[in-house]
Amino acid sequence: MLEEKLTKTGLVTEPVNTKVTTRQTYVLTGIEGDLVQDGGKIAFIEKDGIDYAPTTVQLPGGERVPFLFTVKNLVAKSDVSTSEIGAGLKLSGGFKVPSYRTGLFLDPKGRGTTTGYDQAIALPAMQAGGDDQMFKENNKKFDVLDGSIELKVTSVNAALGEIGGVFVQKQPSDTDLGSKVPKDLLLKGSWFATVNEQ
């Protein structure tokens, strides 16, 4: 996770290691898409699959940060013009990060986007006073934010049509249906794919 720290030289943004608390449920799998030539470059266009997973990480201080680990609508292009996939090839691009919670989710006070109360019944004075934080809590919204990823090919098995490698991904965390400012997450991991000839 990227966090701002105050140092002698000023405010510095640096990554902080976190611990995944959702066990093995954060793996994306069965993702399918088209591998095409686009302007002389190789491009992968994601179409379908288990392309999101609600995940939570814990910061060293104990704070838990939920986020939707995803690559929805990913379009990743190679960094150089080529028609062959080989070790060292990099694909990078953007994707969409939908809201961590759906429209049917109700918060502890029964507020939601499509169901539930419009405002917290027990807090009329704060709501009438124009409190900005209360406005965000009462007016839930389904945010769709942007993320980016870079995939690097480290191994190729041409006989089986298999490729694999590592990835680095940057995406926002949960906004709690619009009431919180999302944190930036920097994810690293491994990926594997099978290329089917058409």
Domains along the sequence of the chain with CATH: 3-7+11-102+142-194 (2.40.160.30), 103-141 (3.30.2050)
Distance between CA atoms of 123 and 115, rounded to whole angstroms? 19
Select the more confidently predicted residue: 124 or 8.
Answer: 8
Select the more confidently predicted residue: 114 or 94.
Answer: 94
Select the more confidently predicted residue: 17 or 125.
Answer: 17
pLDDT in tens, 96-148: 999 988 877 777 777 777 776 666 666 665 556 666 666 777 778 888 999 99
Confidence at residue 112, expressed as pLDDT on a 0 to 100 scale: 73
Q: Would the CA dihedral through 126, 111, 174, 178 be positive or negative?
A: negative
- Beta-carbon contacts of 115 under 8 Å, excluding residues fewer than 6 positions away, are 103, 104, 106
* 3-state class (DSSP) for residue 126: helix
What is the CB neighbour count within 10 angstroms for residue 175? 22
Confidence at residue 14, expressed as pLDDT on a 0 to 100 scale: 82
Q: How confident is residue 23, by pLDDT bands cut at 50, 70 and 90?
A: confident
Confidence at residue 182, expressed as pLDDT on a 0 to 100 scale: 94
